[in-house]
Structure 1
Amino acid sequence: MYAIVDIETTGGHASAGCITEIAIFVHDGQEIVEHFETLVNPGRPIPRYIQALTGITDDMVADAPPFEEVAARVFELLQGQIFIAHNVNFDYSFLRHHLDGCGYTLQAKKLCTVRLSRKVFPGFPSYSLGNLCRQLNINIQQRHRASGDALATVQLFERLMAADSQGAIAQALHGRSREKWLPLHLPQEQVAELPSCPGVYYFHNVKGKVVYVGKARDIKKRVTSHFTGNSAGRQRQEFIRNIHRITYEKTGTELMAFILESIEIRRLWPQYNNAQKRIEFRYGIYMFEDQQGYLRLAIEKRRKYTHPVFTFNLLADGHQLMRELIREFRLCPKLCFLQTDQDACTGIAEKTCKGACEKKEKPVRYNKRVLTALESLQARQPSFAILDAGRMATEQSCILMEKGKFYGMGYVPRDVAVSDGAMLKNWLIQYPENEFIRNLLRQYTASKTARLVSFQ
Structure 2
Amino acid sequence: MYAIIDIETTGGQFNKEGITEIAIYKFDGVEIVDQFISLINPEIPIQPFVVKLTGINNAMLRQAPKFFEVAKRIIEITEGCIIVAHNAPFDYRVLKLEFDRLGYPFNRPTLCTVELSKILLPDAQAYSLGKLVRSLGIPIADRHRASGDALATLKLFKLLLDKDTDKQILKQQIKNELYKGISPKLFDILEKIPSSVGIFYIHNDKGNIIFIGKSNNIRKKLNQIFTADSKIAKRIQKEVYTVTFEETGNELFAQLKEREELLHNKPVLNTVQRKSPYLWAVYQEKLENGYETLKINKTNGRKKAIQSFKNQKNALQFINELYRENEIVEEVQNALTSGENVNYPTEMHNKLFDSLIESNQLKYNNLIIVMKGRNLNEKSAILIENGLFKGYCFFDLNYQILNLQVLNKILIPLIYTKDVLNTIKHYLYTKKDYKIISF
Q: For the superposition of Structure 1 and Structure 2, which TM-score range results when normalised by the shorter chain?
A: 0.3 to 0.5
Query: Larger Cα Rg: Structure 1 or Structure 2?
Result: 1
Higher helix share: 2
TM-score after normalising by structure 2: 0.42
